[in-house]
Amino acid sequence: MAQIVVIGLGRFGFHVARELHAAQHEVLAIDVDADVVQRVRNHSSRAVVLDARDAERLAALGLSHFDAAVVSLGELVDVSCLVALHLKELKVPKIVTKAGSEDHGKLLRLIGADEVIFPERESAERLAYRLTSADLLQHLPLGEGISIDEIAPGDEMTGKTLAELALPRRFNVQVLAVRDALTGQLRANPGALFRVKDSDSLLVVGDDPSLAKLRRI
């Protein structure tokens, strides 16, 4: 069980806190708005009304013992940067920050944020991939041009074993798992003798050009 602090409980921060708590992690939720904090109490281990710009009060929470911090303060560039700086000085091991623009993201990285996310842009990219690829069910960018795609097998794949398909050799991608759409069962690391059915979807990882090539067959 990880200990994670979520600072800023707008729509994104609230959902992050709720999902982490549902996954049985210890979640400390922080926001300056008492009404917002009240709404998240049932979806966190502890919820605190606090202006995170106050370095002394932030330090009093013992955040150095936490595993990670998520900073979701919307378009408040100066506030999110200051909070990220405080967290860095408190030696929080992993700092994930939400950014509203590329410049905002650059500032956060300079301060020392370990990961900067752009939720709206990333959601739009995944939607664009799905809309333009009929056989693409999910798209998850991992960074540096590497992604995980969930694809529906075409006629060329159906009925063949993974050994016969030879996807690593032909397309430079690896099959991580196979999902059966009828049962919902997920089979991780399927062997070379696994035979692909028309009800299966394949979770594959590779560089984006290779994945695009695979989707064209």
Per-residue tens of pLDDT for the chain, all 217 residues: 899 999 999 989 999 999 999 989 999 999 999 999 999 999 999 999 999 999 999 999 999 899 999 999 977 789 999 999 999 999 999 999 998 888 888 999 999 899 888 877 766 666 665 555 545 567 677 777 888 888 888 888 999 999 999 999 999 999 999 998 888 888 999 999 999 998 999 999 999 889 888 887 7
Question: What integer pLDDT is reported at residue 149 of this predicted model?
Answer: 86
Question: What integer pLDDT is reported at residue 126 of this predicted model?
Answer: 60
Q: Whose CA is closest to 149, among 134, 138, 161, 162?
A: 138
CATH 3.30.70.1450, applies to 122-215: yes
Question: What integer pLDDT is reported at residue 184 of this predicted model?
Answer: 81
In the chain, domain spans:
3-117, 122-215
Q: How far is it between the farthest Cα atoms of the chain?
A: 63
Q: Hey, do 3-117 and 122-215 end up sharing a CATH topology, with the first three levels equal?
A: no
Could you name the CATH architecture of 3-117?
3-Layer(aba) Sandwich (3.40)
Question: What integer pLDDT is reported at residue 145 of this predicted model?
Answer: 83
Question: What integer pLDDT is reported at residue 164 of this predicted model?
Answer: 95
Angle between helices 102-111 and 77-89 (to 10 degrees): 20
